[in-house]
Structure 1
Amino acid sequence: MRIDKFLKISRLIKRRSVAKEVTDKGRVQLNGKLAKSSSMVKVGDTIQIQFGNRIVKVKVEKLQESTKKEDASAMYTLLSDERISS
């Protein structure tokens, strides 16, 4: 599954177009390397996303083509959510 689609379906980012933009601007890392929006995600991968002054790190638990809002958080495990001071 493409990383931009995973971010949208897991509801880490609300829209796929925003997920694509954030990824292409270099704010998303897949297993410690900069990711492109077309990067493929597998179960067990770690994703790090920079949201302004926050860095969120998650581990991919499962891949689904679609999901309900309540089930979206089961697609990943939150490893860390830290604020960075400027």
Structure 2
Amino acid sequence: MARRIKAHPGYTETLGSLLGIVGAEINTDLTDAKPVLKAADQTGGNVVLSFQKFKSDGINIYSQRENESEFVFLARDTQTRYVVNRR
């Protein structure tokens, strides 16, 4: 409802204050954001990644092995735990 009111051509900051719909603007630039990753080696070559994604919806997970020249896209994950099971 607040979004519709703010989009109206007659909307002003004063009107927004009276209605209680003026809040602090949150501008987060995620272009340089980097999640904090923790990895735990499991048996059988699996690795469990846990991460904090902060204000983003998820993270892209890539992998590069010693004999590979490029990073390989593994997943776009929205949960804070991912099991890497590349064999």
- Structure number with the bigger relative contact order (C-alpha 8 A, sep ≥ 6) is 1
TM-score tier (shorter): under 0.3
The structure number with the bigger radius of gyration is: 2
TM-score by length of 1: 0.27
